[in-house]
Structure formats: structure tokens, C-alpha cells
Amino acid sequence: MSSEIRGTAHFLQQENIRLQKENERLQQEVVRLRLILRNLGNLNQMALSIHPETDILLLLDQILQAALNSIQAEDGSLLLVDEETQELSFVVVHGSVRTKLVGHRIPLGVGLAGWVAQHAESVIVPNAQTDPRFSPGVDQAFHFRTRSMICVPIVFSGRVLGVIQALNKTNHKEFVNGDLLMLNVVAQLAAAAIARAESVLLGEES
């Protein structure tokens, strides 16, 4: 067998191995996406069936967890708007500062989360430290470092209820537009849950 034929055979063998690995990776990704969609569907059903005894914070926690898992983010939080004080309050947090950050407040318009809440626009930021809208206050206060971020508004009937932010994609990868689309879907789910909870509470009080 000539060296040219041996070289071609070796190339074909390597290419076959590469294609098999790629096929396995795609199959794993399909399984992961199916699981995510099933989880989101279950959460949607839970959001639609909210009643006075529903633990809305637990539901929002599950919604946030599903979001972070789906886009492979290390940390994230869900903040709600306090219309009386014009602040954002961290109500659900996942990641390394989870126990410390819940209850912390930032003014509307401050930082990327405050900007998103004020403008009702989603943002994807590859390097938060270089974005002029980023405020290092939370990082400094809680000994954390935000590398990359996606932040989306939670909007219902034109009213901004809060924001969801996902921080620091695993393995130092960058967030992509697909991650942003997924987080926007989750934000819509959170908006429906919050609005449903408000209407249930109002109905209960009346």
C-alpha cells in the first residue's frame, strides 16, 4: 500500500472518529434540550395553577434554576421591582453568594440590572467589567466577580415586574444569542407566574 493510500485511509479513520464524537455530542444536546423543555412545560403548568397556598418564591426559584441549567450559567438571580421605593430587590439567587444576596436592594437605573429594568430591554454582555452600564458595587460588597452576563426584563402587560440575570457561563465560555432567547422565554414564564400570583392575592383579599 502506497504512502498516499495509507495517508488517505488514516484521514478517513480520523474523520470517522470525529463524526462519531460529534454525533454523540449532538445526541446529548438533544436529550438536554428535551429535558429543559419538559421542565419548562411543567413549570408553566404550575404557574397557571397558582392558588392562595402556592409558594410563589419556591416557584420562582425553580424557574430560575431551570433557566440557569438551560444556558449553563454558574450564577444568577431574579430581582423584583419595588414600585414604592423605585428599587430592585434580589428575591431569588443561585450560586456562590446565594445566602448573602437575597434581600439586597439596588436603585432602578443602577448597574446592568437597573438599566434593563428601566429600559425594558434585554442585554448580553461578554465582558461586564468593560461595560459602562455595569456597577461594581454588588461585586465588591459580596466578594464576587462578574465576568459575563445576560439580563432580561420580566414584563407583563407593558409593566416591568423585575429582571432575571445569568452570570458567568461555565468553562469561561461566552453567552450566545440562543442563551438570550432561552432566558427571555423563562422571563415570560416568570412574568405570568408573578401576575397570576398578584391576581390570586387580590382576589383573596377582596
For residue 127, give its domain range: 31-205
Instruction: Residue 192: name the closest of 159, 149, 143 by CA.
Output: 159
pLDDT at 205 over 60: no
CATH code of the domain in which 94 resides:
3.30.450.40
pLDDT at 55 over 80: yes
d(CA 14, CA 21): 11
Q: Is residue 18 part of a domain?
A: no
pLDDT digits (tens, 9 = 90+) for 62-108: 888 888 888 889 899 999 999 999 999 999 999 888 888 999 999 99
Q: Is residue 25 part of a domain?
A: no
| Average pLDDT in the chain | 85
Tell which phi-psi region holds residue 157, choosing left (phi > 0), alpha (psi between -120 and 50) or beta: left
**Per-residue confidence (pLDDT) for residue 206, from 0 to 100:** 40
Q: Is residue 71 part of a domain?
A: yes
d(CA 135, CA 139): 8
Q: Is residue 20 part of a domain?
A: no
CA atoms in the 13 A half-sphere facing the CB of 161:
20
Residue 20 has which C-alpha cell? 462519531
Q: Compute CA 3 distance to the chain's CA centroid, rounded to the nearest angstrom.
A: 53
Average pLDDT, stretch 27-50? 71
Q: Is residue 149 part of a domain?
A: yes
